Structure 1
Amino acid sequence: MRQEEFLSYRDYFIADYSQEISLNYSRTMADSVSIAEQDLLRSFPDGVESKGQELVCIEAKVAGQIIVVGYLWYTINIEDQTAFICDFYITEPHRSKQFGRHAMSELEEQLKNNGIHQIKLRVAYYNKRAFALYEKIGFVVTGYNMSKNIV
């Protein structure tokens, strides 16, 4: 990903993640946006040059042109030979066209060739479409995230 693409990713991520924070943790939208901004800055203090983070644009040929159809952010833990997908997003007009499945297949091949033996991720409870994709390509449920607000 190039720096100019990172700016578009940043805009998407903050809007999307703040919605998830608000929905899942009953936070105000202003608080949710602030949390999303802080999380992204903590993970990418040096933008796309930040160490320990892999952030790529998912590109595909659409109507004869190569365009960005999504994003994939992951980290690698060399010690236990795993990767963790932090964010995976296919833009709305390009969903259900196999771009997500193809991107995950390419990621698996790349990780396998680099000695990584397991991919982990978290799926939001309400995101049935993502859950179905992950299940179709071989992911299994290993637990549940739960929370309780204390007022």
Structure 2
Amino acid sequence: MNLLIAQMQEDDFPNYLAHTSQEYAKEKIKTGTWPADQALILAQAEIRSLLPQGMHTPNHHFLSLIDESGIKLGIFWLHLAPVQKEAFIYDFEIYEPFRGHKLGQLAMQNLFDYCRALGICKISLHVFAHNQRAYHVYKKLGFIETDINMTRLLH
């Protein structure tokens, strides 16, 4: 299967933003970082601080993953630091109906090519510790740990 990376359409952005805020809140609840009753508000605030100009915030790129027939399979939210020749993946998702078909690895390989074409030499990301599936995909793709946060709950 061929995957294409294209700029996210502006009319897709509000739905994406609402979805990613909800998903980020859920992840922060799972890690115990934020209480459930405040998580969505905190997620929305954090994302607003990262994107003061929304989709048009400088150096932030919102990309759609599209198959050859035009079906949208997923997204990337990428921050580029061209002077440092670095990129940071804020969000990456293969939509639920398309998961489990090795599209994640293919999408990441396409992203590597996309970034190389922009002169980027280093890509970083964050993965929640409980997301072992993503962690193993990233390890297979050559990502290495650079920081590890650990927590112990005292009850």
Q: TM-score, normalised by structure 1?
A: 0.86
Alignment correspondent of 1:27 = 34
Unaligned 5+ residue runs, structure 1? none
Shift of 1:70: 1.2
Match of 1:55 among 58, 62, 65: 62
Which structure has the higher relative contact order (CA within 8 Å, separation 6+)? 2
Match of 2:105 among 101, 108, 112: 101
Shift of 1:99: 2.1
Contact 1:60 1:99 in 2 (8 A): no
Counterparts in 2 of 1:3 and 1:147: CA distance versus 1, 3 Å: farther
How far apart, CA to CA, are the structure 2 residues paired with 1:47 and 1:67?
24
Shift of 1:115: 1.7
Q: Show the 5 A alignment for 1:45-124.
A: 45-61=52-68, 65-124=69-128
How far apart, CA to CA, are the structure 2 residues paired with 1:56 and 1:30?
31
Shift of 1:25: 3.2
Q: Which runs of 4+ in 1 moved over 4 A?
A: none
When the two chains are superposed, the root-mean-square deviation of aligned CA atoms in Å is 2.0
Contact 1:18 1:33 in 2 (8 A): yes
1:99-133 deviations in whole A, cap 9, x for unaligned? Answer: 22222111111211222111111110000110111
Contact 1:71 1:87 in 2 (8 A): yes
Match of 1:36 among 15, 20, 43: 43
Residue 10 (str. 1) matches residue 14 (str. 2): no
Contact 1:2 1:48 in 2 (8 A): no
1:69-126 deviations in whole A, cap 9, x for unaligned? Answer: 1110111122321111111111121112232222211111121122211111111000
Q: Show the 5 A alignment for 1:130-145.
A: 130-145=134-149
